[in-house]
């Protein structure tokens, strides 16, 4: 039976620890009002109305995009800012060479000055949230304080936010404290600080997703990776997808790819017509929390409740599920508009943009109409391929782990690691071309171990050791694969069609797990022979397949030299086992 609203205890009285913290933030930031978020639909509607009345949201064409809105960010606030993102641990070594570091006291002092009085004409919103299903022991809670109603709207979609989360916090008595203000949206006064030892986040000066929706990268990856190490689990930048074979068996894969490299598309993949009988179910599209289970397998939950996905390129060919999903109840950020107020982005088969992402008359000379990192925020429940097990409290069992990068050469289409220890090296070796998801140059190849370069909350050397330790505790560790959908020929043309056709590679992995298909040994791991891949109905030149499955010893020897140099930066934190694995590969290359 529903509880009558008047009998509900005010949120501000549910947890003394949360209330004390809110009071101290209120004193510091001096807001005009404080609003505790219940997490109801009515609340989301009210916030939407507020932003519409302020002209900060635009309602999209209700006939074609019912319940959808457009938000335009400040033009200088469109992506994550890795150069302004810090891990603030007492010892710099704990943050590692992979992170920017600041002394916690110094960072707090700096942030206090930024936060002082920053909410004067604004409302302070308190968002209690739970990352993961509310009834799952694997979930973790937090509270975000923000002065941005846009951030609140996003958090209501992306997390289980509101009363139920606060009730859980009141019982658990532990939560991540995330303080956020958009400040002046001045890139000179912008910092994203993490204090893993205090389970705290302080973010100032940006309203953009990864900088401002603190449950996402800041909590569910940077802080959670630290918690996971202490508690013997893994917090990873991975999608989780279930593949049901024509025999009716379902296998779940967790796949790590850097930002804007197709995680959402893979998680929602539509099987090609020539692979009948396969079905695909999405559990998550960005983050996986992996826990060793009593049965010796890894079990995964998706801590998020929605998707914050890249819009450009989404169309019925690349991702029909996403294309359908974002036609209703979706918050768009930084897309273009047509004359009849439909959202428009590069890659759509029809429509004409009249206003670009900044709301200016569209002029191709000024670049793309939609920002390359324009995003949709939408509830996972809108996903036509949403897994019926996505909200299972115990998670789903993982059959295989997959690492992938965006590389025009070197890495073949797919290979299988020799074992877990080698798989950790394969993950640690990940390299990928940079994308528009972060501020900076696009298309530069950089090391991005486990796709966690921007997101690991501590020293990568210790993180790799933690991976080795978790694997050693698993009686049934999943096999580990590496994929590269982005290999190109000498003319720069992609060799592999990607999207739905990627299922052909995933089905090889699943058949491998069941011992039903072969592979050939190579110096870097096991690769499918052409006959091991189901290529029925695929229009692929034989020489393309040869190139996709080629391992060039000269390029790989160079890769090993670069990798040894890179790993060497982690000094005494680098697990010797990884160097040993590197030595084995090197020896096999001859």
Binding site for ligand SAT (CB under 6 A): 80, 209-210, 216-217, 259, 308, 437
Q: Is 365 helix (H, G, I), strand (E, B) or coil?
A: helix
The footprint of Mn ion (CB under 5 A) covers 259, 286
Q: Is 290 helix (H, G, I), strand (E, B) or coil?
A: strand
Q: Are 404 and 261 in contact (CB under 8 A)?
A: yes
- Round to whole Å and give the CA distance between 339 and 354: 6
Rank residues 209 and 528 by Cβ distance to ligand SAT and give the closer one. 209
Choosing from 68, 141, 261, 456, which is the catalytic residue? 261
Concatenate the DSSP letters of all residues of 492-505 into one string.
S-BSS--GGGGHHH
Q: Minimum CB separation from ligand SAT for residue 176, in Å?
A: 16
| 261 labelled catalytic | yes
Q: Minimum CB separation from ligand SAT for residue 115, in Å?
A: 22
Q: Which does 216 bind (CB under 5 to 8 A by kind): ligand SAT, Mn ion, none?
A: ligand SAT
Token look-up 């449950």 returns: 215
Q: Minimum CB separation from ligand SAT for residue 399, in Å?
A: 24
Rank residues 286 and 501 by Cβ distance to Mn ion and give the closer one. 286
Rank residues 259 and 383 by Cβ distance to ligand SAT and give the closer one. 259
- Round to whole Å and give the CA distance between 477 and 498: 28
Q: Minimum CB separation from ligand SAT for residue 160, in Å?
A: 18
Q: Determine the residue with CB nearest ligand SAT.
A: 210
Q: Which does 150 bind (CB under 5 to 8 A by kind): Mn ion, ligand SAT, none?
A: none
- Round to whole Å and give the CA distance between 587 and 464: 22
Q: Which does 80 bind (CB under 5 to 8 A by kind): Mn ion, ligand SAT, none?
A: ligand SAT
Rank residues 80 and 140 by Cβ distance to Mn ion and give the closer one. 80
The arrangement of strands across the sheet holding 336-338 comes to: 343-344, 336-338, 353-355
Q: Minimum CB separation from Mn ion for residue 235, in Å?
A: 13
- Round to whole Å and give the CA distance between 425 and 480: 10
Of 84, 213, 358, the C-alpha closest to 221 is 213
Rank residues 263 and 573 by Cβ distance to ligand SAT and give the closer one. 263
Q: Minimum CB separation from ligand SAT for residue 128, in Å?
A: 20
Query: Residue 561 corresponds to which tokens in the numbers above?
Result: 């030299």
CB count in 10 Å sphere of residue 365:
4
Q: Which does 308 bind (CB under 5 to 8 A by kind): Mn ion, ligand SAT, none?
A: ligand SAT
Q: Please name the residues in contact with 208: beta carbons below 8 A apart, sequence gap of 6 or more.
A: 73, 77, 78, 79, 80
Rank residues 267 and 560 by Cβ distance to Mn ion and give the closer one. 267
Instruction: Write the CA distances from 578 to 230, 422, 461, 589, integer angstroms.
Output: 22, 7, 10, 17
Q: Which does 142 bind (CB under 5 to 8 A by kind): ligand SAT, Mn ion, none?
A: none
Q: Which does 437 bind (CB under 5 to 8 A by kind): Mn ion, ligand SAT, none?
A: ligand SAT
- Round to whole Å and give the CA distance between 500 and 512: 20
Question: Would you please indicate which residues are annotated as catalytic (active-site) residues?
Answer: 261
């Amino acid at each position: 039976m529903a509880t009558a609203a008047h009998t509900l205890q005010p949120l501000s009285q549910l947890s003394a620890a949360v209330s004390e913290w809110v009071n101290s933030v209120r004193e510091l930031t001096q807001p005009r009002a404080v609003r505790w978020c219940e997490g109801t639909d009515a609340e989301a509607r009210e916030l939407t109305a507020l932003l519409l009345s302020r002209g900060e949201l635009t309602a999209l064409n209700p006939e074609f995009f019912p319940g959808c809105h457009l938000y335009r960010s400040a033009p200088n606030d469109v992506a994550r800012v890795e150069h302004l993102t810090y891990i603030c641990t007492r010892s710099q070594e704990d943050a590692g060479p992979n992170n920017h570091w600041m002394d916690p006291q110094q960072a707090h002092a700096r942030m206090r000055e930024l936060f002082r009085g920053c909410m004067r004409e604004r409302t302070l919103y308190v968002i209690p949230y739970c990352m993961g299903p509310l009834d799952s022991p694997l979930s973790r809670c937090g509270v975000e304080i923000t002065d941005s109603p846009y951030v609140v709207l996003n958090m209501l979609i992306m997390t289980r936010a509101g009363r139920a989360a606060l009730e859980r916090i009141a019982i658990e008595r532990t939560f991540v404290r995330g303080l956020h203000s958009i400040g002046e949206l001045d890139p000179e006064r912008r910092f994203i600080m993490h204090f893993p030892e205090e389970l705290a986040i302080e973010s100032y000066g940006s309203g953009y997703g990864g900088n401002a929706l603190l449950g996402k990268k800041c909590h569910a990856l940077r802080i959670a990776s630290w918690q996971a190490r202490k508690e013997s689990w893994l917090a990873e930048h991975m999608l989780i997808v279930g593949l049901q074979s024509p025999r009716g068996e379902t296998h779940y894969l967790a796949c790590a790819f850097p930002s804007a490299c197709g995680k959402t598309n893979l998680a929602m993949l539509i099987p090609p017509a020539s692979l009948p009988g396969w079905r695909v179910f999405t559990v998550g599209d960005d983050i996986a929390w992996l826990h060793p289970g009593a049965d010796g397998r890894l079990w995964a939950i998706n801590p998020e409740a929605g998707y914050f996905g890249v819009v450009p390129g989404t169309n019925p060919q690349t991702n029909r599920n996403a294309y359908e999903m974002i036609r209703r109840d979706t918050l768009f950020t930084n897309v273009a508009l047509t004359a009849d107020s439909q959202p428009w982005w590069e890659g759509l088969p029809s429509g004409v943009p009249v206003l670009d992402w900044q709301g200016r008359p569209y002029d191709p000379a000024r670049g793309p109409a939609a920002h390359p990192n324009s995003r949709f925020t939408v509830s996972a429940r809108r996903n036509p391929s949403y897994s019926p097990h996505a909200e299972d409290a115990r998670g789903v069992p993982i059959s295989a782990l997959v690492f992938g990068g965006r590389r025009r050469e070197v890495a073949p289409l797919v290979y299988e690691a020799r074992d877990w220890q080698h798989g950790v090296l394969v993950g640690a070796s990940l390299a990928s071309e940079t994308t528009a998801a972060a501020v900076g140059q696009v298309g530069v190849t950089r090391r991005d171990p486990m796709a966690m370069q921007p997101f690991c909350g501590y020293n990568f050397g210790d993180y790799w050791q933690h991976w080795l330790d978790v694997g050693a505790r698993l009686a049934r560790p999943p096999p580990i694969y590496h994929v590269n959908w982005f290999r190109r020929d000498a003319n720069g043309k992609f060799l592999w069609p990607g999207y739905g056709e990627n299922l052909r590679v995933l089905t090889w992995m699943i058949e491998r797990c069941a011992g039903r298909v072969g592979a050939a040994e190579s110096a870097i791991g096991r690769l499918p022979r052409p006959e091991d891949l189901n290529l029925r109905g695929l229009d692929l030149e034989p020489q393309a397949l040869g190139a996709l499955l080629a391992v060039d010893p000269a390029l790989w020897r160079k890769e090993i030299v670069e990798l040894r140099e890179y790993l060497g930066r982690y000094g005494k934190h680098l697990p010797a086992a990884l160097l040993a694995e590197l030595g084995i590969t090197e020896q096999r290359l001859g």
